[in-house]
Structure formats: C-alpha cells, structure tokens
Structure 1
Amino acid sequence: MFLLRHSVLENTWSKPAYILAVMLEEMRKPEAHQLKWLFWVDAAAIVMNPKISLDVFLPPAEFSHIHFLATEGEHGLNTGVFFIKVHPWPIGLLSAIIAFPGYRSDVQLAESDQSAMSELLKETYFQENHLLIPRNWFNSYQIEHDDNDPNHPWQINFGDLLVHFPKGQHQDERIRKYIDHAERHLPECEVDFENKTYLREIQSFWAGLHVEIMSEKD
C-alpha cells in the first residue's frame, strides 16, 4: 500500500505526480517483481466490503491493450477511484496531465487534474487504451439522499466494494457514519462475492465489448 500524506505539487496536481513516482519506481524493477496494476482511492472513500477481490474488475487477457479503468460521475470522468496499469502508456498520460497547465494554458479546467485527464483521454494517442466501466463495480457514491435508495442510480447498495463521497454538504458527517459501518463489519455490507451480481455483470460487460470489437473488424 502507498499513501500520499502531503502535497507534492499544488492542490490536486499532487495525485498524478505521486502516482507517476510510484509507477516509475515499479517500472525500474525486473518485470517479475513489478506490480501489475495500481488501484487509486481518494481519501474521501471507504472500503465497505473487503470480501470483494480487486482482481475481478481487471480486463481479461484479450484486452491487454487496456491500461486504465475508470468510471463517470454526474459531471463526467471521475478520478477519485480508478485502476491504472504499470506500463509505459500511463507514464505518458500522467506526465501529460502534470504538464497540462503549462503547455495547454489556454484550456480552462473546472476540476484541475481530473479535467486535464478527461481532455487528454479524448486525444487519439490515449483514446484506445482506456475504458469507462459501470460505476457500481468499484466507485459507488453516497450522495445526499436516503441510504441505499434503489431509485437513485448514484447511490451505494449493500455489498458494494466501497463508498465514495463527492463534495457536498455534510460530507464529514456522512463519512463518519460509513466509517462506523465499516468498522462494525456489518453482514449486510460484507456480502460474499457469489451473492452479488458482480460476476454476471462483469462477464456480460466484457462479452458485449468483445462482440462490438469483432463487429468493427468485420
């Protein structure tokens, strides 16, 4: 586990800088000793179900060209929680994010590093090597609605891997509530993988993407 305990650069630019440092440290090792993927989690997120293995969310072997997995929020790309592969491609992406304010100073960024990443992933060089996947897999939100509201698509459900708290009113209060839930290891939160819908959803997602790719080749 790696923890970013203090700022490296101003504001949220510390995130890509720190991940880049970790990535470079891994890349200098012999391949057999390298980590394969990094899983970034913002401080405003809490693991609720440790029974879910992170491996289940990674791309199958036939999608080895995918080096970045993220989800979307209400305002587009969300970089609070994501997977990034230890590979030269992310080094280019992270370097471009850090450099963005300097060489793209004409672009107004609403969310600093997150907006910079969103802009870069639209470019041809980066476009084909990332995927946006269903948010409930590993980036469930807790928003200012009743807990586990099944009628709201942004809400965490029992047994989800983690809960992420976007900025808003009463954020600290809501975080403390879920920390209490996590520390009590409530059975309704720590649901076995087999009893969740993850496996069916994940298999369906990658199978559908495979069919789409094959159709494009034809």
Structure 2
Amino acid sequence: MIKINGKSINSTVDQSSSKPIGAYILANESAGFLAEIQRTNNFEFVVTNLQGIKKPGMSGSESNAIVENIEEVIRLSVNSTSIPHFSQDPITVRRGNSVVKYAGVPTFPEGSIQVNDYIGIDTKVALMSWQNLSYNVKTEKVGLVTDYKRDCWLVEYTPDYQEVRRWILHGCWISSLTEPEYNHDSNDKHTISATIQYDWAELDFTGET
C-alpha cells in the first residue's frame, strides 16, 4: 500500500488491465493490432525533371556537356534529408484583459539534404549543375524561375521497401552548397550539404511513381 495525495492506494500489480498498457500489444497479431515501426533509413529523396541540364561552365556543344542520369545520381547519393513541415505565426486580438489567437500565414522553412560525394557518378557535379540553373557564375546571370525550380519527392518505405507515403515538395531549388574541409589527418567519407528552398509541401498517398 502507498499513499498518493493523502489517500491510501492498494497495489494492482496482480490485476489485469482492460486496456493495453505496455508495448506487447504492438507485436500481437491475434489482438488485431500488429504494428511496424517506421525506420529512419527507409526513404528516398527524388528530384524530378532535371534530365538534360548542362554542367557549370559548359556551352552545350561539348561532348560531355550534359550530366548523365542526374536524377538517379542524386537519388542514389542522398544520405539524409529534412522532413517538410510548416509553422503558423498566430494573429492575436487583445480586448480588455484577455487575448484570442487566430491562425496566421503558414511558412515552410528551408530544407536540406546531405549526399555522399561519389566520384564515379559525379555527385558534386550533379548538385552544382542544378544550382547553376539559378545563378550562372560564368555569365553572372540569375536564371528564370522556370529554369531552376523543380518538384521533389520524399518517399518513405517499409523495411521491405513498400511505399508508405510520400511528400511532394513544390518549387525546389538549391540556395547553397557546403562541404567539410579536406584534411590529411582524416579518413572519413566526404559529404556535401545542400540547402533546399521550396514553396510548399504536401502529403500524397496515391502511391504513384
């Protein structure tokens, strides 16, 4: 017996509960509630409609001007990604001694992806070529919105790679690329981080690819 808030309470350790209080129910198929946990490594980040773009500094007449399989290169290279969510600043109305709050304009913060820098498939060139569409360093010109904005997908999978859900990120473009420094004392893999700006994102459950 223990006391809670001044009341004597008997132990219920030997009594069955009418509702699940532990984790076993999540693995109990006979109870009709068999759940699979979503894992953080079962996903893909896909950029659409990037095929045929030129490498930075290329005019297009060179034999190697086009980035080959650029969408696949990015998809296979992505190591981690942020998940898109929006926030709303409240609109407050004060009267007398009280305040009520209304929903304000939604804001989608910038996203990010980190990729492994694979040499054989030119991961870095792929990202820089996409970034080059918004600003061409050689010509010093900013691209038109139709040049650089692309829709992206963040697809979440089960452990056996059946699609669970996908996010569609509308109007994506790279606003910055960053890399860790090279270091003779280090023996780690080299990665590249890209800051992704997008207009809005939505969940799509259609399962279409």
**How high is the TM-score relative to the length of structure 1?**
0.22
Question: Quick check: which one's strand share is greater?
Answer: 2
For the pair shown, the structure with the greater C-alpha radius of gyration is 2
**How high is the TM-score relative to the length of structure 2?**
0.23
Question: Quick check: which one's helix share is greater?
Answer: 1
